[in-house]
Chain A
Amino acid sequence: MKYSIVFLLFLMLIMAGCHVLEKEPVSEIALDQQFKTEVDLRGALMGAYYRMGLETPGASNEMPLRYLLNGEVRSDSYTSRNATTREDIKGNINNVYPYTNWQAYYSSIRAINNIIFYGPDIPAERFTVPLEKNRLMGEAYFLRGFAYFNMLRVWENLVLSTEPHLNAESNFTKPQVAPVEIIKLIESDLLRAALLMPVNFPTNHRGRATKGAAHALLAKFYVYISSPYAQSKLNPGPVRWAEAAKYADSVIRNTQFRLVPTAEYATIFTQNSTTESIFEIVYNALIPGSNNVNDFVMAFLPRKNTPPTGGNFTFQPSDKIIKAYKAMNDVVRFNAAMGEVRATEGWLSSDIGRNSIPGQTEPNHYVKKYMGSLQGTIRFSDSDIIGLRLADVILLRAEALLAMGDAANAQLELNKITDRAGITRRTVSVREILQQRWLELAFEGDRWYDLKRHQLLEAEAGAPPYPKGYLFPIINGEIINNPNVKQNPGWE
């Protein structure tokens, strides 16, 4: 009887002290727990890199091809065997074309904004090396500057998002700001990144941003805002050629970065993370997990009867760029950038020869900079996106020096590039620098930006009506979900 009562009391009391409402996630991390230590901060930063390179085939937040295509697909570098894609390339781009979607950029920016908001509050003693905090924060600022700089060049009229969304009351429908506001943010982010990040790479690949990357991007940024297009359209303030030259010079003097010798030129693309590389988004199929590959092989390689080693041949080099290499007898860079679709390589017969593309005179070629890696008989699409490399910076410095009137030193910089390419030296001029940029950086996502900033799109790339063609449209879904966003001029 007595024992029965005790039993009953136990039944009642056994869980009375339980705090069943106080639960913590085990397989995820609550936002309020995410930023406590160095490891947390690094994890969030890796997540930001992950998003910057995230491949989700066919999805609207597909990222890797966007780097290459936003900056080049509407220039004179590409054509396609597919008539619809050709229309897109020519500029008949409509609002649903996936590369008009900025979601992937903003989703990366959100991950970065959280780091920039919470990171500074992590106490210094939570870091093994105090400077590590600076490095990680610096990388976050760099990535944000990098993302906004790309977006500025593509859409120009952007929503300025720098704050995290912490609750349902957060403003999710901000209006766009004047481009100069974005320019200010990019400049301050990159300057801060340059200040915080050390010179050395923390890894044996060049997939992490360093001081060199910040300086290189600053040079590219200052050249962009000093260019005729930006000066006439964006109100960025006075020209900044001197800063551009200064930061480019700092990269050039940095002994970590050396041009790859002529004989090994192709290794820039086949090996990746070469001495010339300043910042890459790294893919590696040998690392388990699904996010270590991209879709470049599908986009660029011709088709094969055995699918695992071939692609879809969606984008191919244009007649014009093939002829441009040939005109300059530019064999080394040509062979690294593209190859003719030949039967001996086993490509599908219908991709060999000439497409029925109006006016095409050259045989079909394919882009060779993103061949991925062969593991046994299977080809994995894991070539890196080369975000910044030394040849780019050298040409940027040449351009800045020339603009400042220092043609002699500009010529010296240009010579570095033509000498390495193994072609005869060329007299420096803006047009010559642009031509060298095209052939040096072909299919790396620069040509359209270069033509745009010199207001040469109409003349060189032809196609869509301008000035509408100077901007990409904003995807319809954004305009539906955010009534405060206005379509870019001409695309309404």
Chain B
Amino acid sequence: MIALLKVPALVFLLLLFSINSYCYRLPDFRVTGKITDQKTGEPLQGVNIVVKGTTTGTTSNGEGSFAITVPNENATLIVSYQGFENQEIAVNGRASITIALVAGTRVLEEVIVTGYGTESKKSLTSSIASIKPKDLENQPVARLDNMLQGRAAGVQIVQNSGAPGTNGTTIRIRGISSVRAGSDPLLIVDGIPLNGFIEDINPADVEAIDVLKDAAASAIYGARAANGVILITTKRGKGKPRTTVNISRGIQNIAREYEMLNGFEHWEVMKEMYTNTNRPFDAFFNEIRQTGDTASTTDWPGLLLQNNAPITDINVALRGGEGRVKYAASFNYFDQKGILISSGFKRMTARLNLDIEVSKRIRFGNSLSLSNTQPRAVNTAGNGVYMNALVKNPLTQPYDSLGRYTFFEPAGNTGNPLANLYEERRDASNNRVFGSVFGEVTIIKDLTFRSTWGIDYRQGRNSSFTPSTANQQGRTSGGFDLSEAFQWINTNTINYTKQITPDHNLAVLAVFEQQEFTNRGFSGDASNFPGDIVSTLNGGATIVGVNSNQSSYGLQSLAGRITYSFRDKYILSGNLRRDGSSRFGKNNRYGTFPSVSVAWNISDEGFLRDVEYLSYLKLRGSAGQVGNQGGLSNFGNRGLYTTGADYVGSPGTVPGAVPNSNLKWETTTQYNAGLEMGFLNERITFIAEAYNKRTDDLLLDRQLAQSSGAGTITINLGKIENKGLEFGLNTRNLTGAFKWSTNVNVSFNRNKVLSLYGNANDQIFVFAQQRVYGVDALESTIQVGYPLGGVYGYISDGVYARSEDNKNNLTFNGYKFAGGDVIYRDIDGDGKLTPTDRTNIGNMQPRHVGGINNSFSYKGVSLDVFMNWSYGNDIFNATRMSLITMESPSRNSSAEVRNRWRRPGDITNIPRAATGLTGGANSLESTLFIEDGSYLRVNNITLGYQFPNNITQRLRLNNLKVYMTGNNVFIFTKYKGIDPDVRSFNGEGQYGIDFGAYPRARIFTFGLSLDI
């Protein structure tokens, strides 16, 4: 114990202790007890025990045991547990009490966080997925959003790469509903919109995550809600003060990697490249052959890897509040080194949440988070270091005889990825203040007024310096960027809840809200430094550029909600929000977003009351409209003149896009139906949902006639549709001493572009990349009648075994395909391969995604196995395209090319090695590189042991647990790349392209958590 506490956090911990003992009088009567299920006799964990008339409380541990101090011997305990009926137990001087709880048949009091309020699960009329805090525990992941993968139906999450911390995560709630206005959901933390960068949040601070999926749930957020809303609620204090310490440390290693050719094999491929196209394989290359042989193979990608990269997560929190002040203070230190050298992510956060009861009618409080993150990112997409290392000639050496980096490479790929990673100095640091204060007053009975004032201020700094040692030319250059994002929000709500008669209940909510967002940036770049020591811009003799900018927008909103329920059986709810945005054109300054929803708790009806096995049955439905204003630039509707159009040093301005004062939000209309069922006292719960979402008035940039001189105009046109089904099943399979429970969820979404500019064959191309490492401009397509973001290219049918097999004499830019070349389908049948032979060759949207979690426990031992999957999506593997096309001697190939075509008659899928083929005829964007991206990942396995009470009590602890976690333990997939959970280009409309993505790590951690 003492050894474990010898961590840097000890100082902080002691500080927290001293606050603890100074502020609060320790009570004097101690009660211990055990809580069991009356029916089965098994102990119940997590039962709430509160001393009546106070806020003193505790929860039972894994053995059902609890210990609580009460003010006197005559105190009364209130015992409550979800799915069971509450009990009041008088202590009557007993020091030990055994309590048996009776399973409640109609109790569904789980609290769901809704927009500007909370609701019990039973009275909810809309579609909200709640993610339990347990799902977020013990995951060695920096980002909260990555932890949500597979945890909630309707939420699709793609980890864009394996880079720590800042990899960017794609979150799609019920599909993609926009082409260029952004498809990311609105994130709200404790009522304040989070202006991006979710990695600034400490996941251990999070109490609950609620995903608002249908329009009835999200319409209260109006013009920003079309992509769904994720409400994040942080932990607040209650009950007896308790210090929680959680420390985990782990190691990370690359999970999968490409097998590459060795030096000799690469030399053979190089030689074939020349002989196959009748080019002289000159002395130059023979020279390399002499200087290098198989023994001297350099494993370039291997040199970039850091083995057993450490990951450390330390959380210390003090939470409690038995008097008028409730408090939750926490500190987090997170440090993850990347599996690529010199990359990583570091985070420090401090949080203080307070609730102060001034009087019975007045309450104040705050949420405050201070954070510092230090991402150490390396460029991996496309032409980044990892791709460079993969293709780097294995016959070349990283260092010369004097130990300097080599930049020599006869075939042209002169970069040295090691020099990039070791020499380039990058230093980024982001500071954030995110928080709010609120005051709440109960004006009269049932009527509460609350005002919140929140701030999100994030300042980012990015310094970089390239020393002369990092490149062949010995050039030095440096950059310094500062960015500042500031947001304030003022929310005022009035809540009125009235029980008109015991049967009729009414709740009314009114909201007035104002927000303002301002971004500022500064960047400076210089070159020509006096050496490699000074890395700040003062050293640069040449100023390359200095720039600063500022932009802001505001929102002003009124919103309301009325909920009426009859005997909690029939519930009707309506929402309305009116949003004014400075981004909207002056003819559409305000948008109105309504929704209605109904719920029917059928199991409360008399005719079902006697059906024993059915404990809960509810039907609900909703309809509504929400908006998306993300694609609007702050002032785009007014037509902007931009600077920098200078003529011979005289400052000049030029007009940009045409003004459009009719510009407005995209409107998504959504219908939702839900069915919730509970069997055998909620031992089995099942939820099914169906939805239909249609987005109109898509914001598109329309290409105007060149003769208008105007380039493009942003307009509201186009429609997109998402339809889907979601299922969730939770079962408690075994409930004895050995417990086993299972949660499964699966989501089906079908996405289709209904129209764009009004014509049936409209198509928008999104280009990903200029030609680099043999990967040509990748085209994604947004095409009417297809799911969004397919890849556009040729259909390939293998490789010609012999030149004679090209029976139709198909040519490409005059080149006739020969034996060993890729067989492309000549769709228009004109004998020539031209762009018109291309088609939509990949559907990047999965047929279904889901997750399954199994929890086992026996006494103090628990085992959680979580798997998630994605099925039926294609991936365009551009990394592999680069590694198997063998058209340039400057690129090494993967081991797959050992099966390449070598002589007439070879039947294979890998084309011949050939340099100088017309237009790279064998490396066109084609189905050759489309792969099935389906996978099932054993995402998280946690084995924990909770020490029994007699030990913890001896240690004067409330709780002590140790655990081991494996993350990304195993993946079942046919995908040939490193990881199918990938999105290298994250522009709108670009999905499922893998190009040099940062490889994914397999992580094992060991952790300890204790409560004092």
Which of chain B's residues have a CB closer than 8 A to the CB of A481?
703-706
A30 within 8 A of B: yes
Partner-binding segment picked from A15-23, A315-323, A335-343, A457-465:
A15-23
Given the interface pairs A25-B640, A168-B715, the reply to whether A15 lies near B648 with Cβ below 8 Å is no
> Please, how many angstroms separate the alpha-carbon atoms of A34 and B659 in the complex?
13
Contact across chains for A21 and B589 when beta carbons are under 8 A apart: yes
> Please, how many angstroms separate the alpha-carbon atoms of A86 and B969 in the complex?
61
Shortest beta-carbon distance, A369 to chain B, in Å? 20
Shortest beta-carbon distance, A424 to chain B, in Å? 40
Given the interface pairs A4-B358, A167-B660, the reply to whether A29 lies near B653 with Cβ below 8 Å is yes
Contact across chains for B439 and A4 when beta carbons are under 8 A apart: yes
Contact across chains for B654 and A111 when beta carbons are under 8 A apart: yes
Contact across chains for B490 and A50 when beta carbons are under 8 A apart: no
> Please, how many angstroms separate the alpha-carbon atoms of A53 and B645 in the complex?
10
**In-complex Cβ contact of A168 among B549, B556, B581, B660 (8 A):** B660
Contact across chains for A167 and B658 when beta carbons are under 8 A apart: yes
> Please, how many angstroms separate the alpha-carbon atoms of A180 and B437 in the complex?
71
B955 within 8 A of A: no
B514 within 8 A of A: yes
**In-complex Cβ contact of B709 among A1, A5, A30, A161 (8 A):** A161
B118 within 8 A of A: no
| Chain A 19-54 interface 0/1 with B at a Cβ cutoff of 8 Å (1 = within) | 111110111111110100000101111111111010
Which of chain A's residues have a CB closer than 8 A to the CB of B492?
12
Contact across chains for B358 and A23 when beta carbons are under 8 A apart: no
Partner-binding segment picked from A190-198, A235-243, A287-295, A425-433:
A287-295
Shortest beta-carbon distance, A84 to chain B, in Å? 11
Q: Which of B414-452 contact A (CB under 8 A)?
A: 437-441, 449, 451-452
| Chain B 700-735 interface 0/1 with A at a Cβ cutoff of 8 Å (1 = within) | 000111111111010100000000000000000000
**In-complex Cβ contact of B638 among A5, A30, A46 (8 A):** A30
**In-complex Cβ contact of B490 among A11, A28, A46, A173 (8 A):** A11
User: How many inter-chain residue pairs (CB < 8 Å) link A and B?
Assistant: 232
Q: Which of A153-189 contact B (CB under 8 A)?
A: 158-159, 161, 165-168, 170, 172-174
**In-complex Cβ contact of B639 among A30, A47, A49 (8 A):** A30
Contact across chains for B514 and A485 when beta carbons are under 8 A apart: no
Q: Which residue among A20, A114, A478 has the maximum number of chain B CB atoms within 10 Å of its CB?
A: A20
Contact across chains for A485 and B705 when beta carbons are under 8 A apart: yes
Contact across chains for A30 and B706 when beta carbons are under 8 A apart: no
A263 within 8 A of B: no
Which of chain B's residues have a CB closer than 8 A to the CB of A466?
none
> Please, how many angstroms separate the alpha-carbon atoms of A338 and B549 in the complex?
46
> Please, how many angstroms separate the alpha-carbon atoms of A166 and B647 in the complex?
25
Q: Which residue among A32, A40, A43, A114 has the maximum number of chain B CB atoms within 10 Å of its CB?
A: A43
Contact across chains for A50 and B654 when beta carbons are under 8 A apart: yes
Contact across chains for A1 and B661 when beta carbons are under 8 A apart: no
Q: Which residue among B359, B556, B641, B706 has the maximum number of chain A CB atoms within 10 Å of its CB?
A: B706
Which of chain B's residues have a CB closer than 8 A to the CB of A30?
635, 638-641
Given the interface pairs A20-B555, A29-B641, the reply to whether A11 lies near B648 with Cβ below 8 Å is no
Which of chain A's residues have a CB closer than 8 A to the CB of B710?
107, 110, 165, 172
A482 within 8 A of B: yes
- B interface SS class: strand
Shortest beta-carbon distance, A62 to chain B, in Å? 13
A250 within 8 A of B: no
**In-complex Cβ contact of B648 among A44, A45, A158, A207 (8 A):** A207
> Please, how many angstroms separate the alpha-carbon atoms of A284 and B635 in the complex?
33
Contact across chains for B556 and A21 when beta carbons are under 8 A apart: yes
Contact across chains for A34 and B707 when beta carbons are under 8 A apart: no
Contact across chains for B640 and A31 when beta carbons are under 8 A apart: yes
| Interface range for A | 35 or more
Contact across chains for B645 and A47 when beta carbons are under 8 A apart: yes
A106 within 8 A of B: yes
> Please, how many angstroms separate the alpha-carbon atoms of A25 and B635 in the complex?
7
A411 within 8 A of B: no
Which of chain B's residues have a CB closer than 8 A to the CB of A205?
648
Contact across chains for A12 and B441 when beta carbons are under 8 A apart: no
B610 within 8 A of A: no
**In-complex Cβ contact of B659 among A23, A40, A44, A166 (8 A):** A166
> Please, how many angstroms separate the alpha-carbon atoms of A11 and B363 in the complex?
13
A491 within 8 A of B: no
> Please, how many angstroms separate the alpha-carbon atoms of A109 and B640 in the complex?
17
Which of chain B's residues have a CB closer than 8 A to the CB of A18?
514, 516, 554
Shortest beta-carbon distance, A461 to chain B, in Å? 27
A222 within 8 A of B: no
**In-complex Cβ contact of B641 among A44, A168, A174 (8 A):** A44
**In-complex Cβ contact of A23 among B545, B554, B705, B708 (8 A):** B554
B502 within 8 A of A: no
A373 within 8 A of B: no
Given the interface pairs A21-B580, A23-B553, A31-B638, the reply to whether A292 lies near B648 with Cβ below 8 Å is yes
Contact across chains for A207 and B647 when beta carbons are under 8 A apart: yes
Which of chain A's residues have a CB closer than 8 A to the CB of B514?
15-16, 18, 20
| Chain A 53-91 interface 0/1 with B at a Cβ cutoff of 8 Å (1 = within) | 100000000000000000000000000000000000000
Q: For the complex, count residues of B whose C-beta is within 8 A of A.
A: 71
Contact across chains for A167 and B554 when beta carbons are under 8 A apart: no
Contact across chains for B362 and A47 when beta carbons are under 8 A apart: no
Contact across chains for A477 and B647 when beta carbons are under 8 A apart: no
> Please, how many angstroms separate the alpha-carbon atoms of A29 and B660 in the complex?
15
Which of chain A's residues have a CB closer than 8 A to the CB of B645?
46-47, 50-51, 291
Which of chain B's residues have a CB closer than 8 A to the CB of A113?
709
Q: Which residue of A lies closest to B715 (CB)?
A: A168
Given the interface pairs A51-B645, A289-B644, the reply to whether A31 lies near B639 with Cβ below 8 Å is yes
Shortest beta-carbon distance, B154 to chain A, in Å? 33
Which of chain B's residues have a CB closer than 8 A to the CB of A203?
648
> Please, how many angstroms separate the alpha-carbon atoms of A203 and B705 in the complex?
36
Contact across chains for A110 and B708 when beta carbons are under 8 A apart: yes
> Please, how many angstroms separate the alpha-carbon atoms of A202 and B715 in the complex?
42
Contact across chains for A5 and B441 when beta carbons are under 8 A apart: yes
Contact across chains for B362 and A4 when beta carbons are under 8 A apart: yes
Contact across chains for A47 and B653 when beta carbons are under 8 A apart: yes
> Please, how many angstroms separate the alpha-carbon atoms of A1 and B704 in the complex?
63
A14 within 8 A of B: yes
**In-complex Cβ contact of B652 among A4, A50, A287, A478 (8 A):** A50
Which of chain A's residues have a CB closer than 8 A to the CB of B18?
none
Contact across chains for B640 and A107 when beta carbons are under 8 A apart: no
Contact across chains for B551 and A25 when beta carbons are under 8 A apart: yes
Q: Which residue of B lies closest to A22 (CB)?
A: B582
Contact across chains for A482 and B642 when beta carbons are under 8 A apart: no
Contact across chains for A8 and B441 when beta carbons are under 8 A apart: yes
Q: Which residue of B lies closest to A46 (CB)?
A: B652
Contact across chains for A172 and B705 when beta carbons are under 8 A apart: yes
Contact across chains for A12 and B490 when beta carbons are under 8 A apart: yes
Contact across chains for B646 and A289 when beta carbons are under 8 A apart: yes
> Please, how many angstroms separate the alpha-carbon atoms of A482 and B702 in the complex?
12
B691 within 8 A of A: no
Q: Which residue among A23, A45, A170 has the maximum number of chain B CB atoms within 10 Å of its CB?
A: A23
Which of chain A's residues have a CB closer than 8 A to the CB of B658?
165-168, 170
B650 within 8 A of A: yes
A277 within 8 A of B: no
Contact across chains for A11 and B437 when beta carbons are under 8 A apart: yes
Contact across chains for B655 and A31 when beta carbons are under 8 A apart: yes
Which of chain A's residues have a CB closer than 8 A to the CB of B705?
159, 172-173, 478, 481-482, 485
Chain A residues in contact with chain B, CB under 8 A? 1, 4-5, 7-8, 11-12, 14-16, 18-23, 25-32, 34, 40, 42-51, 53, 101-103, 106-111, 113-114, 158-159, 161, 165-168, 170, 172-174, 203, 205, 207, 282, 284, 287-289, 291-292, 475, 477-478, 481-482, 485
In the complex, 10 of the A-B residue pairs with CB atoms within 8 angstroms, ordered by the A residue number, are A1-B362, A11-B451, A25-B638, A25-B640, A29-B642, A30-B635, A30-B640, A31-B641, A173-B708, A482-B707
Known contacts A5-B362, A27-B549, A31-B641, then 15 further A-B pairs from the complex at CB < 8 Å, ordered by chain A residue: A1-B359, A11-B437, A16-B514, A20-B582, A25-B551, A25-B638, A26-B549, A34-B641, A43-B651, A44-B654, A47-B645, A103-B709, A167-B660, A172-B710, A203-B648
